[in-house]
Amino acid sequence: MMLLTIIGTLLLTSDDVYSSGQKNYVVINPREQGCFAVLGYNRNRGVHILNLQRNNGRSTCMIMGIAAHEMLHILGFAHEQTRPDRDQFVQIYWSRIKRDSISNYFRAIDINARERPPVCNPKSTQTSFDNCYSGFKTSTFGLEYDYGSIMHYGLDDFTTTGQDTMRVLRPVPTGIVIGNRKGMTKLDALKVKARYGCNEGPGAKTTRKPSVGK
């Protein structure tokens, strides 16, 4: 996909930013520790940081799937396990999650929701965050939950106990990897197209409509 091609060929640092006179742009920075990005475009932010840590001998973010995951954050896509309907698909084990990462599991609410639960407070002493929300509203675009999404965490990510931090509640199709960082799924691509009204790129040929969930 074009998104992956761009990420694979572009590396900007704070010393050689090329913004073409734009007031808002993304800087891909390899110098800080960790893989992270701001969530969503903000016209008042100016520089939108996407950090991809270089290989330090122990870990690296210089992996295509990780880069795509972080770029999708900047495009406004949160983690799959935070969808408004996620409780139908995964159970969160709050007590097993590292406290400084627990907000990555807070559920969003639907953009058309009439009622708002309280906003989750990651600094609170509560042991469950099932009845609060992240403070964000989102849309599923009518697309099904994607266990294989490049935006979905692995089942044992950020564990403090060595045990899984999530449990699946539905059968997972054979071949689906939960926590996939190899590439975007068909559903990932459909979400981007739904949000931005994207057409196929130059040279792309489509002979039939994509089938969802197969």
Question: Which CATH number do you get for residue 15?
Answer: 3.40.390.10
> With contact defined as beta carbons under 8 Å apart, do 97 and 105 qualify?
yes
* Shared-domain flag, residues 72 and 83: no
* Shared-domain flag, residues 97 and 68: no
> With contact defined as beta carbons under 8 Å apart, do 171 and 165 qualify?
no
* Shared-domain flag, residues 153 and 182: yes
Among 26, 52, 76, identify where a domain stops.
76
> Which of 141, 134, 73, 144 minimizes the C-alpha distance to 107?
134
The total of structural domains in the chain comes to: 2
Among 53, 76, 99, identify where a domain stops.
76
What pLDDT, on a 0 to 100 scale, did the predictor assign at position 18?
A: 53
Binding-site entries for Zn(2+): 69, 73, 79
* Shared-domain flag, residues 120 and 180: yes
Among 61, 76, 91, identify where a domain stops.
76
Q: Is residue 178 part of a domain?
A: yes
What pLDDT, on a 0 to 100 scale, did the predictor assign at position 211?
A: 34
* Shared-domain flag, residues 179 and 111: yes
What is the Rg, in whole angstroms, of the alpha carbon atoms belonging to the chain?
18
What pLDDT, on a 0 to 100 scale, did the predictor assign at position 1?
A: 46
> With contact defined as beta carbons under 8 Å apart, do 171 and 157 qualify?
no
Q: Is residue 209 part of a domain?
A: no
* Shared-domain flag, residues 57 and 91: no
- Say what the pTM is: 0.81
> With contact defined as beta carbons under 8 Å apart, do 186 and 212 qualify?
yes
Element (H, E) at 71: helix 64-74
* Shared-domain flag, residues 64 and 132: no
* Shared-domain flag, residues 7 and 42: yes
* Shared-domain flag, residues 93 and 61: no
Q: In which domain, by residue range, is 163 found?
A: 79-198
Q: What is the 3-state secondary structure (H, E, C) of 108-166?
A: CEECCCCCCCCECCCCCCCCCCCCCECCCEECCCCCCCCCCCCCCCCCCCCECCCCCCE
What pLDDT, on a 0 to 100 scale, did the predictor assign at position 193?
A: 94
DSSP 41: -
What pLDDT, on a 0 to 100 scale, did the predictor assign at position 112?
A: 95
What pLDDT, on a 0 to 100 scale, did the predictor assign at position 5?
A: 43
**Residue pLDDT tens, the chain, 214 long:** 444 444 444 444 444 555 567 778 888 888 888 888 888 887 788 888 888 988 888 888 888 899 999 999 999 999 999 999 999 999 999 999 999 999 999 999 999 999 999 999 999 999 999 999 999 999 999 999 999 999 999 999 999 999 999 999 999 999 999 999 999 999 999 999 999 887 765 554 443 333 333 3
Catalytic residues: 70
Contacts for 72 with CB less than 8 Å, ≥ 6 apart:
3, 150, 151, 184, 188, 192
Q: Is residue 27 part of a domain?
A: yes
What pLDDT, on a 0 to 100 scale, did the predictor assign at position 177?
A: 97
